[in-house]
């Protein structure tokens, strides 16, 4: 009997993102505090009789060919275990596309871990992390999920217990705006790393103790200097979410998504009211622990 497996693929936010410098390999040296949230895609893996890897998705903006990271993840895994491709992958897309929330990376991570279960393969953590690194910089983090300090190009990970109780997360995505991660990094110019290093060193502990006031003074995302200049509506969303003074808002990744952290849902909803009349999609979510 052909098997079917259904998995959740959670989005991520960058609590802080420090782009240090460009490396000889063309990537940028990073330091980022990354957190998975409850907003998630649903991935269904199904064995089929016909040869090949077939991708289906309810969002027309998602490619269905080999450029999709889930195709690459499936290919890497099946090649690793010499399994003939006879696989259908369905993506029920809830995470906005090209929005700085690791939507493609988390789908790929779910495929990697899901195929190990579908084909009953014993995969070591280093092995699956190596496969994840070969697919994309954010994929190793979302394989694990939870809270991590990511360094290098994102593949050097140190994991921590997230804040308790979970913080409420507002995600606001301007409609009709997408940002290429490659474009954002290509147009970024580094600034005062000494000042950033001091602030970055204090973000993780402030975040873990749920100290919103401290975070207001500490958090930063270097790619805001690129994306906010091109897309002023992203800056406007950030300002409106910050305007109640009860949370802290920041762009996630290369944008255009803006997230805001609050200690409870009431404060989150107060801030969301300020977005009335804007062309924006809003999600009320919460931070999550590591994937099961």
CA–CA dist 195, 210 (Å, integer): 23
Residue with tokens 């906010």: 228
E strand map for 48-143 = 52-57, 86-92
Task: Look at residues 283, 207, 275, 197 and name the one whose alpha carbon lies nearest to residue 243.
Answer: 275
Cβ atoms 6, 42 nearer than 8 A: yes
For residue 199, the tally of other CB atoms under 10 A from its CB is 15
Please measure the distance between the N-terminal and C-terminal CA atoms of the chain and give it in whole angstroms. Answer: 26
Q: Is 213 exposed, middle or buried, given 0-12, 13-18 or 19+ CB atoms closer than 10 A?
A: exposed
Q: Which residues are catalytic?
A: 12, 138
Sheet containing strand 280-286, edge to edge, reads 248-251, 258-262, 168-174, 280-286
């Amino acid at each position: 009997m052909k098997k079917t497996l259904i998995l959740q693929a959670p989005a991520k936010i960058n609590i802080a993102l420090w782009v240090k410098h460009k490396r000889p390999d063309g990537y940028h040296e990073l330091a980022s505090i990354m957190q998975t949230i409850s907003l998630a895609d649903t991935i269904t893996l199904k064995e089929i009789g016909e040869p090949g890897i077939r991708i289906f998705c309810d969002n027309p903006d998602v490619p269905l060919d080999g450029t999709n990271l889930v195709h690459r993840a499936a290919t890497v895994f099946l090649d690793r275990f010499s399994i003939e491709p006879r696989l259908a992958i369905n993506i029920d897309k809830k995470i906005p596309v090209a929005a700085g929330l690791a939507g493609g990376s988390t789908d790929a991570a779910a495929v990697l871990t899901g195929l190990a279960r579908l084909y009953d393969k014993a995969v070591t953590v280093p092995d699956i992390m190596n496969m994840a690194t070969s697919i994309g910089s954010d994929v190793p983090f979302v394989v694990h999920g939870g809270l991590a300090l990511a360094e290098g190009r994102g593949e050097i990970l140190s994991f921590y217990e997230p804040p308790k109780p979970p913080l409420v997360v507002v995600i606001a995505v301007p409609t009709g705006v997408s940002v290429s991660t490659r474009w954002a990094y290509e147009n970024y110019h580094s600034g005062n790393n000494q000042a950033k290093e001091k602030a970055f060193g204090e973000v993780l502990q402030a975040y873990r103790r749920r100290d919103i006031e401290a975070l207001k003074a500490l958090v930063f995302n270097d790619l805001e200097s690129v994306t906010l200049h091109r897309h002023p509506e992203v800056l406007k969303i950030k300002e409106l979410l910050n305007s109640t003074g009860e949370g802290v808002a920041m762009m996630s990744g290369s944008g255009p998504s803006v997230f805001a952290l609050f200690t409870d849902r009431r404060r989150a909803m107060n801030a969301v009211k300020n977005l009335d009349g804007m062309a924006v999609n809003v999600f009320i979510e919460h931070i999550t622990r590591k994937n099961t």
